[in-house]
Amino acid sequence: MTPMRIFSGIQPTGSKHLGNYIGAIAQYVEGQDRGEALYCLVDLHATTLPYEPVELRRSLYDLTALLLAAGVDPERCILFRQGDVQEHTELCWLLCSVTELGRLQRMHQFRDKSLAQRELVSAGLLLYPVLQAADVLAYRAHEVPVGEDQREHLELMRDVARRFNARFGEGQEVLVVPEHRIPTVGARIMDLQAPERKMSTTGGTEQGTVLVLDPPAAIEKKFKSAVTDSGSEIKRDPQKPGISNLIDILAAVRGVGTEAIEMEFSSARYGEFKLAVAAAVVERLQPVRERYELLRADEPELERILAQGAEKAREIASQTLIDVRHHMGVGPPRRVQPLP
Ligand code: TYM
């Protein structure tokens, strides 16, 4: 029986923030104990918006060191760079044949990101979700840990896999239809200054975005100045997005339900509560920051880890591509094993 296979991808752009940490990175670490995990730094996806090549390489090492520092362990998972495994781009092209153009044009992220472009809306931006589908389907992964903002991409990916199997599978499940794994608490961490917007280095406020590598004093300052709501009760409520977000953050960091936090702080004031959230986040992130400094200094070692991961990834993905090409009638016929 194939073990449970877990796959996720993360973009090597910008500085990673508390939303990425809670929504995704912490889940990657936990996934290593539940199955065969693959984590991919998606440099090809990062070329779909304007970028600087030198910067991309640098950010890729930054992110590799960050993931390692957070507990992603190359001995217990496959950590690799997307651009090292050419099967992703080939499968992306092949999957285009079962992907509806109108659906890509209607994707929220495509609409938002294309509206924000002044010069060029690249075709890559439109095809972004197909490449993301290829990332996961190339490994026949069962589960994809992501934050809430990836839900639409996951739905498209599932439909593409189903449509491929229906069109080319000849009754077989050539591609696995994956399930998303979105955390129950912390799937959408909001900006501390503008809690109606998700925390993000591109669309958020600087003061409202807690970076994984922020020094403790900066983290405390950001939480102290977090926007809270009128009233004084520490309780989740759609009318109180600021307090609800802080409750979610503390619950996710401590690994408990939101009710436990509401109960513990039922007679606390907002100021006191904000300090408690800041302290928990600092305690969680400080060791990551310390390990990061050491790991980031050794680029040849980071490169070695990525190359080793790519080799293992290629082994799996190349098998899928042999099957996909065969079913699609692309390239030479698959060699039949001679009888012994
Ligand atoms: P990316 O790099 O934007 O984000 C990485 C992960 O962080 C999660 N996330 C959040 N979670 C909670 N609250 C937030 N405010 C928040 N902001 C970001 C994202 O949901 C994501 O899980 N398209 C993907 C990368 C990708 C991918 C894949 C993911 C490429 N191929 C295959 C899964 C499978 C992206 O841009 O993630």
129 close to ligand 1 (CB < 6 Angstrom): no
pLDDT for position 182: 96
DSSP 196-261: TSB--TTTS-STT--BTT--HHHHHHHHHT----SS------TT-HHHHHHHHHHHHHHT--HHHH
* Averaged pLDDT, groups of 10, the chain, 340 residues long: 89 94 97 96 97 97 98 98 98 98 96 90 96 98 97 98 98 97 95 96 93 98 94 92 97 97 96 97 97 98 98 98 97 77
CA atoms within 13 Å, Cβ hemisphere of 148: 12
59 close to ligand 1 (CB < 6 Angstrom): no
309 close to ligand 1 (CB < 6 Angstrom): no
Give the CA angle between residues 65, 201, 293 to the nearest 5°: 25
Instruction: Among 5, 10, 47, 140, say which to mutate for ligand 1: greatest number of ligand atoms within 8 Å of CB.
Output: 10
Q: How far is the CA of 128 from the centre of ligand 1 (A)?
A: 13
306 close to ligand 1 (CB < 6 Angstrom): no
Please tell me if the domain spanning 5-186+298-328 has the same topology as the one spanning 216-294. Answer: no
Tell me which residue has its CA closest to atom 19 in ligand 1.
Answer: 147
Q: Looking at the domain that runs over 216-294, which CATH code has it been given?
A: 1.10.240.10
Give the architecture-level CATH label for domain 5-186+298-328: 3-Layer(aba) Sandwich (3.40)
Q: How far is the CA of 27 from the centre of ligand 1 (A)?
A: 12
pLDDT for position 14: 82
24 close to ligand 1 (CB < 6 Angstrom): yes
pLDDT for position 334: 81
Among 42, 60, 63, which Cα is nearest to 136's? 42
Q: How far is the CA of 146 from the centre of ligand 1 (A)?
A: 6
Q: How far is the CA of 152 from the centre of ligand 1 (A)?
A: 12
As to burial, measured by CB atoms within 10 angstroms (0-12 exposed, 13-18 middle, 19+ buried), residue 105 is exposed
Q: How far is the CA of 323 from the centre of ligand 1 (A)?
A: 29
Domain ranges for the chain, please list them: 5-186+298-328, 216-294
